[in-house]
Structure 1
Amino acid sequence: MTHTKSKTVATWLALLLGTFGLHRLYLYGFRDKLAWLHPWPTLLGLYGLQRMELLGQDDRLSWLLIPLFGLMLSIAALSGIIYGLTPDERWNATHNPGKTARPSAWPVVVGVVICLLIGGASLMATIAYSAQRYFENEVSVSANS
């Protein structure tokens, strides 16, 4: 017998631990292949952050790895937004067939708002960081030639 999948739990798992795919494990189980793909880019991005802290901002490998973490944060936040905004009827038809779950309430709304804030901020920071590194690299290449 399977348990009822809560939209609130899925939204908050996506927000708090979505970069590691725990929201997908909650919804689809341990056989979900996409859930097992989430931790790797996240860990590589965290490794990039660690490299930049140890080696400084001129480490080119960290330039490539750090945006992976930002993208995984954005993807997890987008998942939380999608889960939270899914109508209750469609949610139950997809994740709780034949069952009726409690209607969603304020915790889902709060989770969606926080996902929107974190997701938007991490996406904009990732784009800004990547663009800054790209243009700094182009300027240094132009100055050296």
Structure 2
Amino acid sequence: MAAFRWNQRELDRLLNSQNGPVGRDLDAKARRAQEAQKERAPVSPDGSHGRPAGYMRDSITRRHGRDSEGQFVDVGPTAETPDGHPYPLDVEFGTRPHTIESKGDYPLRDEHGNVFGKTVNHPGTEAQPFIRPSIEAIRDQ
């Protein structure tokens, strides 16, 4: 009679390791999503928030992880404004009209030195989706 030996370590490597077939497949898909995001991410020629042009695009990364459901790969930008706001969400979904107030006793200015005063009624921004379309890019392959 043949004996059956369960190799839990090998099963874990196959299903839950970045180096196993599942992990390699997830990484390949995540890499395609990352490339699609970088291709579609809008780039301000002047940069924004004092950051260089392409800061948001260059922050698009892949991060492998594992939870109770199994392994996963997070793909997306990690860019933030100097005060910690994840502004790629504003780019992806757009913003509603809003008020911007100076954080000190000085007026607001644009990158060209134009002075607006201590309060500006911003008209909002149009959405420029680049994250959601990257999902469609890998779904089509």
When normalised by structure 1's length, the TM-score is: 0.30
Task: Looking at secondary structure, tell me which structure has more strand per residue.
Answer: 2
Task: Looking at secondary structure, tell me which structure has more helix per residue.
Answer: 1
When normalised by structure 2's length, the TM-score is: 0.30
User: Whose radius of gyration is greater, 1 or 2?
Assistant: 2
Structure with bigger RCO (C-alpha 8 Å, 6+ apart):
1
